[in-house]
């Protein structure tokens, strides 16, 4: 399949938004640290969702009819639209709660609802692509990858918010670095699992083969985009012990995982040939 | 249940592509868009022991159509005859249905920005006529009718062919209703 | 009684609604039965006109839907008996031809230099006057023979028009790039051997609407059909191809002899992928096998062929009674009687007391005389299964299997155009005809060679008016004396014409009036004609739209698409019509254009041209006409007693009851004039499988030449013989080291000759020509699937898109003719990029009887190219520029001149 750029940026930004919100909620509401970043991170989450949503409309032939997308519940797009709307609403309510100095419990509950919705949305971003017609996409590993990709981006984005926050706590930084490494590790395992899926998926074809990924036309994207920029560099960055250069480190790390996120999505589309493509 | 669909006798198809042009003319299909395409399968084997057949491809009118499930607006729907159609006024051009189709037999019209596909010529059916491709086919290899009706022409054609020689495209749960007849003395069916 | 124009309401009641998809805007959702009909009823009135296609020579029945004077839809006519409502891609795309934005609309004369593409519109009167004046001037200065007229098979031709004009104007020189390279070799040789029949031509050609038995697939006892160098699925999908599908479905076995694996080959019981140019070797092998295993119809051959006739070893003619007995009959032949062991005259039809030997060498009056069949046997002797396998690059076992199928009769051998395109054209036709006749596959149910009735509207209704061509002019026909078979159609030898234009020898040719599509895409060795074009004083191109040839012309005349023209079409025992559904701009039917030119020449003082309009001078042939209506009405009134319009109203019109038309064993009927068996339409009334009259043809021109001609340089051989192709790929050939692959051509179901390359829907399907090449060979030259390649011969170099296939011999490549209208206005003029005829060959050797040059079976080499040729359109969207521009009907131009 040709690369659907509007959709690449759609899920990239939605993933960024969801991931940021999830990680922030975990850090601020559940670990109770750095609550000062909550407002800005919620705004970033909404902004990212909005940018992603806008990008998705660029894909449409008739964006002016897009509210019709709420018509058919069996469709993955329906789920995405529904969840996006609900998540946006939840984040707004959460923001209002913070603004109005709601109690910690209330904030935690509202934040968690939002986080759950965000987990669902990030997962559904990938799940919408799971379909028997496209063997390379027909696995739950794919939405899992979308979720973990969101988590990775979320860690780095939250790290940026911490870095720019005036009085951040070293423990929080350490936690974020650990979280980043953990999500990167899970992502790596999932990517390997995905490669296994590609290798054993029914209706094999050269367009969606291991050979093409590891040694063929997609090798630069895989090795360069996913392995080097997406894994090796961020890991090295996150393992750096110093703190003074953390802002630059985490910015650079964010850039890397964003690029890797694009690379992953590009790879997905490139492998997205259907069982038969008669026309 | 009524399932209107197409049965094609590949023993007969000579790959003349008359059906492609008949469809274009009848339905005003834009250049670059396809509703019906005849592929050449083969020659397979080693010269001079080879075999080959032609494969007209079009919507397989799946009983569990993934394109209908996937459509967010309900623009892609199955009518009372089981024919899958696109309501062009509802289609938002997201092309999700095109991803969901295992065969890639839907087409996106860059001018109208909606998805199109074979309609089994419902406009001709409405006045008791056969689809354009069926009418034009020099080899009389295309048949359209209700496959769930054992007395319909398509059912009888299938029966006459014998189950060994009736084939369907890969089914990944979508249950394609279209069937192809190919006897092994002409060529072996390639999955 | 069916009307020829149905109102929309009638048609709705009977069948379908037209163009509903365009009539209704928006979605089709919720369309219930009857709703569409009601909705359409509110739209404008639509007429359905019954007509016949002329996208190719199939002439399939069509129903044309016309709304407000504009054609909106085409579909097949179920009543046409050869096509039964089916239509091919070419016919269905015809709206795009009719309303193509690049149609020639008005007569134009060149301003500026040739090739500058600057034109000025003129009136028909001025155009015809300009042409006539130039013609008269040239005739005065150089003689009428300095005028060359040509036509072609594509673009709605009426072949007879050019031949008649040439006769009337006084030039013996007209040709079409087909003719000697297409159909003529078969019509001549089958006629010489099988004889005259009720219908003018009787070969086994499916593409040329013969072999009528195949259309009776429901009751024919045919068991085997051999398709030799022909692909009905590609040359006539909705006509012959359709019938062959039905025959196969009913258990008829097929053998396909074809270098490439076509659709028909894929469905055949046996495919013989023969090396191009070696067909005669295979045919002689088949004959040898049939003789050796006594598979021929012995009784039939003894009674009805000249194979038992003794042959004079010196003259090579059959022995006559007058040669062995004084006072003997010069028209009675001599056989060797088994019973009396002596030579005996054979009265017609035969003598039951005689037992003629079919084989043997016998001494008669001191001469060693062999029978015709003995000579045939000796001719075939070297062509064993093994030898033929070696020569033809085939498997001996497969050849034998094929023969064994063929002899399971009744059946027939359909010989196609492939062998007509190679210098062994006549020999291949002779042998193919001999095969069917030896098997007795003639005039019986299940056979292809028949003598069915003539419904009197054969392809050309324009009579040739040969009597107006003076004998001294006839004698000047270029190549006419050497290639005497060509006088059957009356055409001249194009390579000889080319020489005459270039060198002025034997006399100058100065003007070219051309009525066809793209000579530069169709003529062999196309580049060799450029020098000629540049030398000519005056060139006229009559066609429907500009082609490469137009770039070199001085006057362009707009001719009609088939949708704008009228014609009588004779499918089987019926008559249908092609009738105009509209008329665009100022187009004129070529049948009228030539008449207008003749008329103007007459006015300028050309006596024969004047006489050609005078019925007293032209009788018994039709005088020239002033309009198509006049032309058609004359013929319809004469043959049917009604006008053309009246006939059109009566379609489907049964010209002859089917039982009367579909007659078998006509040779067994009694001839009322003689009281004896009718026999066959040859001088001897027997099948002249031993072609003695080929010798007479070579020496005198009879029976095709109206006047005696000097002998050809060599006698024509009464029997077929095999020669290795001139550009031989065999190991000892020096040329093969440089050009190792053998090139062949063949039809595609989306195009007809050089036409239809300007049709978006068809170019979308097949935008550029494919070069079929075996994967091993491709790998050798570093060529992958879909790569652009250079293809080169001794004559030139072009490009093509490689299609790797196991369906062709590794030593052979295939590609079809192609030119690119989109590069017409560049310096290539569209004929240099992908045109296989840049590679083909138009020099000696030529076929001895017919003059055929080499369009198939010559040597090429292939290499990887850097990409497609510049400017050639490859993507469907690029063809949007040629989408139809429908226009309103305009009045006919006939009356304006």
Domains of chain B, by residue range, sit at: 4-181
Picking from B69, B94, B105 by the largest number of A CB atoms within 10 A of its own CB, the best residue to mutate is B94
| Chain A closest-CA separation from residue B151 CA (Å) | 31
Contact B18 C762 (CB under 8 A): no
Which ipTM value was assigned to this complex? 0.98
Mean pLDDT across A134-144: 98
d(CA A23, CA A182): 13
CA closest to B117 among chain A residues = A279
Give DSSP secondary structure letters for C500-527.
Answer: HHHH--SS---EEEEESS-HHHHSTTGG
Pick the CATH number of A5-270 from 3.40.50.720, 3.30.1360.10, 3.50.50.60, 1.20.1630.10: 1.20.1630.10
User: Rounded to an integer, what is the distance from CA C387 to the centroid of its chain?
Assistant: 32
d(CA A159, CA C79): 80
Chains C and A touch (3+ CB pairs under 8 A): no
**Which pair of tokens denotes residue C310?**
């003794």
Contact C749 B15 (CB under 8 A): yes
**Which pair of tokens denotes residue C378?**
């000796």
CA closest to A67 among chain B residues = B73
| Chain C closest-CA separation from residue B49 CA (Å) | 9
- Is B77's Cβ below 8 Å from some Cβ in A? no
Of B57, B72, B100, the CB nearest to A78: B72
Of B34, B94, B101, the CB nearest to A133: B101
Of C358, C200, C307, C329, nearest in space to C681 by CA: C200
Using a CB-CB cut-off of 8 Å, the residues of chain B touching A75 are 69-72, 96
Mean pLDDT by 10 residues, chain C (897 residues): 39 35 34 46 77 95 95 97 98 97 97 91 97 98 98 87 97 96 98 96 96 98 98 98 98 98 98 98 98 98 98 97 94 97 96 96 96 98 98 98 97 98 98 98 98 87 95 97 96 98 97 96 98 97 97 96 95 96 96 97 98 97 96 95 96 96 97 96 97 97 95 97 98 95 97 97 98 98 98 98 98 98 96 98 98 98 98 97 95 77
Interface B-C, measured as beta-carbon pairs within 8 A, has a size of 187
Q: Where are the alpha helices (DSSP H) in C713-774?
A: 734-738, 760-765
Contact A75 B70 (CB under 8 A): yes
Q: Where are the alpha helices (DSSP H) in C644-742?
A: 644-650, 658-661, 693-700, 734-738
Of C76, C65, C17, nearest in space to C571 by CA: C76
Burial of residue C294 (CB within 10 Å: 0-12, 13-18, 19+) is: exposed
Contact C75 B136 (CB under 8 A): yes
| Chain B closest-CA separation from residue C104 CA (Å) | 24
C198-237 residues touching B, CB cutoff 8 A: 233-234, 237
CA closest to B39 among chain A residues = A278
The count of other CB atoms within 10 Å of the CB of residue C471 is 10
C122 vs A75 pLDDT, higher one: C122
**B81-91: buried (b, 16+ CB within 10 Å) or exposed (e) per residue?**
bbbbbbbbebb
d(CA C177, CA C159): 12
CATH code at B4-181: 3.30.70.20
Under 8 Å between Cβ of A267 and A226:
yes
List, for chain B, all residue ranges whose pLDDT scores fall below the cut of 70.
none
What sign for the dihedral angle of Cα B135, B139, B140, B143?
A: negative
Of C28, C88, C239, the CB nearest to B85: C28
Instruction: Estimate the crossing angle of helix C385-392 against helix C396-406, to 10 degrees.
Output: 110
Burial of residue A220 (CB within 10 Å: 0-12, 13-18, 19+) is: exposed
d(CA B141, CA B158): 12
Contact B96 A75 (CB under 8 A): yes
| Chain B closest-CA separation from residue C798 CA (Å) | 26
**Three-class secondary structure of residue C798 per DSSP:** strand
**Three-class secondary structure of residue C747 per DSSP:** coil
pLDDT-based confidence at A105, cuts 50/70/90? very high
Of C763, C728, C755, C752, nearest in space to C845 by CA: C728
Picking from B16, B117, B131, B142 by the largest number of C CB atoms within 10 A of its own CB, the best residue to mutate is B16
Of A69, A133, A275, the CB nearest to B92: A69
| Chain B closest-CA separation from residue A270 CA (Å) | 13
Q: What is the pLDDT of residue C155?
A: 79
User: Rounded to an integer, what is the distance from CA C300 to the centroid of its chain?
Assistant: 31
**Which pair of tokens denotes residue C157?**
């031709």
Give DSSP secondary structure letters for B67-97.
Answer: HHHH-SSS-EEE-TTS-EEE-TTT-----HH
Of B52, B53, B127, the CB nearest to C807: B52
Under 8 Å between Cβ of C103 and C585:
yes
Of C16, C87, C266, the CB nearest to B18: C87
CA closest to C747 among chain B residues = B16
Under 8 Å between Cβ of A1 and A269:
yes
* Cα Rg of chain C (Å, integer): 27
Between vectors from CA C531 to CA C528 and to CA C532, what angle results, nearest 5°?
90
d(CA C711, CA C713): 6
Of C409, C388, C412, C410, nearest in space to C400 by CA: C388
CA closest to C75 among chain B residues = B136
Mean pLDDT rounded to a whole number for chain A: 93
What sign for the dihedral angle of Cα A58, A64, A67, A68?
A: negative
Q: What is the pLDDT of residue C30?
A: 39
Of C36, C92, C266, the CB nearest to B52: C266
Pairing of strands C342-346, C333-337: antiparallel
The label of the residue with tokens 């040839």 reads: C549
| Chain C closest-CA separation from residue B163 CA (Å) | 18
d(CA C818, CA C812): 19
**Three-class secondary structure of residue C49 per DSSP:** strand
**Three-class secondary structure of residue B45 per DSSP:** strand
User: For residue A228, what are the CA distances in angstroms to A236, A253, A263, B85, C754?
Assistant: 10, 12, 11, 46, 57
Under 8 Å between Cβ of B66 and A133:
yes
Under 8 Å between Cβ of A153 and A20:
yes
Q: What is the pLDDT of residue C43?
A: 54
| Chain B closest-CA separation from residue C808 CA (Å) | 7
Mean pLDDT across A126-141: 97
Q: What is the pLDDT of residue C707?
A: 94
d(CA C392, CA C279): 8
Residue C797 is given by DSSP the state E
């Amino acid at each position: 399949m040709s690369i659907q750029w509007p959709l690449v940026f759609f899920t990239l930004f939605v993933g960024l938004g969801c991931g940021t919100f999830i990680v922030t909620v975990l850090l601020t509401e559940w670990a109770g640290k750095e609550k000062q970043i909550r407002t800005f991170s919620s705004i970033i989450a909404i902004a990212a969702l909005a940018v992603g949503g806008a990008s998705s409309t660029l894909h449409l032939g008739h964006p002016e009819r897009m509210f019709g997308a709420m018509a058919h519940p069996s469709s993955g797009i329906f789920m995405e639209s529904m969840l996006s709307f609900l998540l946006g609403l939840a984040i707004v309510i959460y923001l209002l709660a913070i603004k109005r100095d709601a109690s910690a419990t209330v904030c935690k509950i509202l934040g968690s609802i939002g986080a759950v919705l965000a987990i669902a949305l990030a997962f559904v971003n990938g799940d919408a692509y799971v379909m028997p017609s496209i063997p390379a996409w027909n696995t739950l590993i794919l939405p899992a990858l979308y979720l973990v990709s969101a988590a990775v981006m979320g860690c780095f984005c939250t790290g940026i918010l911490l870095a720019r926050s005036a009085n951040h706590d070293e423990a929080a930084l350490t936690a974020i670095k650990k979280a980043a490494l953990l999500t990167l590790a899970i992502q790596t395992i999932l990517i390997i699992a995905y490669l296994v899926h590609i290798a054993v998926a029914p209706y094999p074809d050269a367009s969606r083969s291991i050979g093409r990924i590891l040694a063929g036309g997609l090798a630069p994207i895989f090795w360069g985009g996913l392995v080097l920029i997406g894994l090796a560099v961020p890991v090295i960055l996150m393992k750096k012990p110093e703190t003074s250069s953390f802002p630059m480190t985490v910015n650079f790390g964010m850039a890397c995982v964003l690029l890797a996120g694009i690379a992953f999505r590009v790879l997905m589309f490139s492998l997205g040939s259907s069982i038969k493509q008669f026309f | 249940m009524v399932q209107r669909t197409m049965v094609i006798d590949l023993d007969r198809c000579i790959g003349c592509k008359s059906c492609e042009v008949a469809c274009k003319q009848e339905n005003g299909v834009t250049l670059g868009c396809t509703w019906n395409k005849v592929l050449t399968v083969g020659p397979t084997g080693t010269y001079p022991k080879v075999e080959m057949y032609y494969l007209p491809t079009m919507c397989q009118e799946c009983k569990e159509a993934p394109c209908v499930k996937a459509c967010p607006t309900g623009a892609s729907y199955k009518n009372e005859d089981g024919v899958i159609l696109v309501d062009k006024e509802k289609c938002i051009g997201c092309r999700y249905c095109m991803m969901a189709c295992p065969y890639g037999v839907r087409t996106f019209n860059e001018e109208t920005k909606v998805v199109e596909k074979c309609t089994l010529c419902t406009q001709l059916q409405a006045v008791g006529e056969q689809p354009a491709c069926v009418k034009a086919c020099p080899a009389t290899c295309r048949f359209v009718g209700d496959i769930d009706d054992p007395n319909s022409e398509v059912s009888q054609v299938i029966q006459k062919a014998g189950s060994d020689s009736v084939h369907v495209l890969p089914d990944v749960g979508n249950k394609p209703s279209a069937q192809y007849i190919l006897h092994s003395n002409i060529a072996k069916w390639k999955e | 009684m069916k009307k020829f124009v149905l109102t929309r309401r009638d048609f709705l009641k009977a069948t379908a609604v037209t163009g509903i998809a365009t009539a209704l805007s928006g979605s089709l959702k919720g369309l219930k039965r009857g709703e569409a009909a009601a909705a359409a009823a509110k739209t404008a009135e639509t007429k359905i006109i019954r007509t016949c296609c002329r996208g190719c020579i199939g002439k399939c029945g069509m129903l044309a839907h016309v709304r407000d004077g504009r054609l909106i839809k085409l579909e097949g006519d179920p009543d046409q008996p050869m096509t039964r409502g089916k239509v091919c891609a070419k016919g269905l795309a015809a709206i795009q031809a009719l309303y193509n934005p690049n149609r020639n609309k008005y007569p134009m004369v060149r301003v500026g230099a040739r090739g500058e593409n600057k034109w000025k519109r003129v009136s028909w009167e001025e155009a015809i006057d300009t042409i006539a004046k130039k013609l008269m001037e040239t005739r005065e200065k150089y003689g009428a023979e300095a005028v060359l007229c040509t036509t072609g098979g594509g673009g709605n031709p009426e072949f007879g028009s050019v031949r008649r004009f040439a006769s009337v104007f006084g030039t013996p020189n007209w040709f079409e790039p087909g003719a000697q390279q297409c159909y003529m070799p078969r019509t001549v040789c089958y006629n010489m051997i099988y004889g005259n029949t009720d219908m003018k031509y009787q070969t086994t050609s499916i593409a040329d609407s013969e072999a009528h038995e195949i259309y009776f697939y429901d009751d024919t006892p045919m068991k085997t059909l051999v398709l030799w160098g022909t692909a009905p699925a590609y040359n006539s999908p909705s006509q012959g191809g359709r019938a062959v599908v039905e025959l196969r479905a009913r258990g008829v076995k097929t053998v396909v002899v074809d270098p490439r694996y076509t659709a028909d080959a894929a469905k055949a019981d046996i495919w013989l992928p023969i090396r191009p140019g070696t067909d005669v070797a295979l045919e002689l092998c088949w004959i040898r096998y049939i003789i050796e295993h006594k598979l021929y119809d012995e009784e039939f051959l003894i009674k009805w062929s000249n194979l038992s006739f003794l042959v004079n070893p010196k003259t090579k003619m059959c022995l006559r009674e007058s040669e062995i007995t004084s006072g003997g009959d010069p028209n009675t032949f001599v056989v060797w009687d088994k019973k009396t062991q002596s030579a005996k005259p054979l009265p017609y039809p035969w003598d039951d007391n005689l037992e003629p030997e079919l084989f043997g060498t016998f001494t008669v009056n001191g001469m060693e005389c062999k029978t015709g069949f003995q000579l045939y046997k000796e001719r075939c002797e070297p062509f064993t299964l093994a030898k033929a396998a070696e020569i033809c690059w085939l498997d001996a076992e497969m050849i034998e299997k094929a023969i064994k199928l063929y002899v399971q009769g009744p059946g027939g051998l359909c010989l196609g155009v492939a062998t007509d395109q190679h210098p062994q054209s006549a020999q291949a036709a002779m042998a193919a005809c001999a095969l069917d006749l030896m098997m007795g596959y003639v005039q019986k149910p299940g056979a292809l060679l028949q003598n069915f009735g003539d419904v009197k509207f054969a392809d050309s209704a324009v009579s040739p008016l040969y009597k107006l061509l003076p004998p001294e002019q006839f004698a000047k026909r270029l190549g006419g004396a050497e290639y005497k078979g060509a006088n059957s159609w009356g055409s001249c030898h194009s390579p000889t014409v080319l020489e005459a234009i270039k060198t002025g020898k034997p006399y100058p040719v100065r003007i070219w009036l051309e009525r066809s599509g793209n000579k530069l895409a169709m003529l062999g060795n196309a580049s060799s004609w450029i020098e000629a074009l540049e030398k000519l004083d005056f060139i006229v191109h009559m066609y429907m739209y500009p082609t490469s040839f137009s770039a070199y012309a001085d006057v362009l005349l707009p001719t009609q698409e088939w949708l704008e023209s009228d014609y009588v079409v004779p499918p089987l025992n019926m008559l249908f019509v092609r009738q105009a559904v509209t008329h665009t701009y100022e187009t004129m039917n070529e049948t009228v254009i030539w008449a207008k030119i003749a008329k103007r020449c007459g006015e300028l003082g050309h006596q024969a041209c004047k006489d050609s309009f005078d019925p007293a001078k032209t009788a018994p042939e039709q005088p020239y006409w002033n309009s198509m209506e006049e032309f058609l009405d004359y013929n319809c009134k004469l043959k049917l007693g009604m006008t053309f319009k009246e006939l059109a109203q009566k379609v489907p019109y049964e010209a002859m009851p089917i039982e009367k038309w579909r007659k078998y064993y006509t040779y067994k009927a009694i001839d009322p004039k003689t009281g004896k068996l009718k026999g066959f339409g040859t001088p001897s009334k027997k099948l002249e499988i031993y072609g003695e009259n080929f010798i007479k043809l070579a020496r005198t021109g009879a029976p095709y030449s109206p006047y005696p001609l000097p002998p050809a340089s060599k006698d024509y051989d009464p029997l077929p013989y095999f020669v290795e192709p001139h550009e031989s790929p065999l190991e000892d050939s020096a040329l093969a080291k440089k050009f190792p692959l053998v090139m062949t051509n063949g039809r595609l179901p989306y195009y007809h000759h050089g036409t239809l390359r300007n049709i978006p829907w068809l170019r979308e399907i097949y935008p550029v020509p494919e070069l079929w090449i075996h994967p091993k060979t491709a790998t050798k030259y570093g060529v992958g699937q879909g790569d652009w390649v250079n293809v080169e011969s001794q004559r030139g170099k072009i490009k093509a898109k490689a299609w790797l296939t196991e369906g062709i011999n590794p030593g052979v490549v295939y590609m079809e003719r192609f030119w690119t209208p989109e590069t017409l206005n560049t310096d290539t003029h569209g004929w240099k990029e992908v045109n296989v005829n840049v590679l083909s060959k138009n020099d000696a050797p030529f076929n001895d009887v017919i003059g055929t040059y080499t369009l198939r079976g010559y040597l090429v080499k292939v290499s990887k190219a850097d990409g497609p040729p510049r400017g050639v359109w490859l993507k469907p969207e690029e063809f949007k520029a040629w989408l139809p521009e429908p226009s309103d009907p305009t009045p006919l131009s006939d009356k304006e001149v």
